[in-house]
Amino acid sequence: MNRQPFYSEKSKLYEMIADNPKLLPLLPRFGIQLGFGDRSVAEVCQANGVDTKLFLLICNIYIDPEVAIHTKDLESVDMDGLLPYLLASHRFYLDERFPHIEQHLCHIIAAGGKKYGNMLRHFYTEYKQEVEKHFDYEEKVVFPYIEALRKGLTPTDFSINQFRVNHSNIEDTLEDMMNILIKYLPGDILPKERIEISTDIIELSADLISHSLVEDQILIPFVETLENAKP
């Protein structure tokens, strides 16, 4: 890495979370439950069957999106938990975060009238569909390809470079929706709820950006090593 990791396996997990609350939603994606007391990162990971180095790599990406991870940083990492973590992240976004946002957004759409309500519905639907399409592609094409490589198979109809080239930023469609919520919708239309949902959307957006960085910084280089090892 270009910088020293923020935390080590000896760090207290609670202190790490307290310093960086954005890490809290990551815990269930690793199968880690709360109530771990003052145990270290290594102790909690070991108790939950999680590779400590993989956990720290992903956490450090969430803490600092500018951190650079090199191939040598991945050499001693057990990658068995990477795809399950990514799949759990997909479920978190689709089954928890989006329904939560939709529950509040429908109130604003109804109050916004035909002009603003229809625009909000359009931009939100476009954004969600783009995310769903992205995840569906990963789960039906990319992840099965990786599993095949890990089993020693040599599929020839795909390469991780195709994923890299098409790994677009799924956040691009958010700007118009946020402009309506913050800039253009009249101020007397559910101001408190608009602030709450805007905060939720911003947090979701930041989480998805970090999710993409995990794939760019960890998943793609890992798969490249598998491809290079093919006979």
159, two tokens: 């390469």
- The SS3 call for residue 40 is strand
Between CA 128 and CA 43 the distance in angstroms is: 37
- The SS3 call for residue 12 is strand
Q: How confident is the model at residue 170 (pLDDT cuts 50, 70, 90)?
A: low
Between CA 30 and CA 110 the distance in angstroms is: 38
Q: How confident is the model at residue 86 (pLDDT cuts 50, 70, 90)?
A: very high
Determine the average pLDDT of the residues in 20-32: 96
- How many CB atoms lie under 10 A from the CB of residue 208? 19
Integer distance in angstroms from the first to the last C-alpha of the chain? 30
Determine the average pLDDT of the residues in 58-69: 90
Q: What is the pTM of this model?
A: 0.92
Taking every pair of C-alpha atoms in the chain, what is the biggest distance, in angstroms?
Answer: 65
pLDDT for residue 101 = 93
What percent of the chain shows pLDDT beyond 90? Answer: 74
Determine the average pLDDT of the residues in 174-197: 90
Q: Bigger pLDDT: 38 or 7?
A: 38
Determine the average pLDDT of the residues in 170-187: 83
Which distant-in-sequence residues (6+ apart) come within 8 Å of 3 by Cβ?
64, 67, 68
Whether residue 66 contacts residue 38, with contact meaning beta carbons closer than 8 Å, is answered with: no
Whether residue 85 contacts residue 49, with contact meaning beta carbons closer than 8 Å, is answered with: no
pLDDT for residue 4 = 45
Which distant-in-sequence residues (6+ apart) come within 8 Å of 68 by Cβ?
1, 2, 3, 217
Between CA 147 and CA 224 the distance in angstroms is: 13
87, two tokens: 């799949």
Between CA 89 and CA 93 the distance in angstroms is: 6
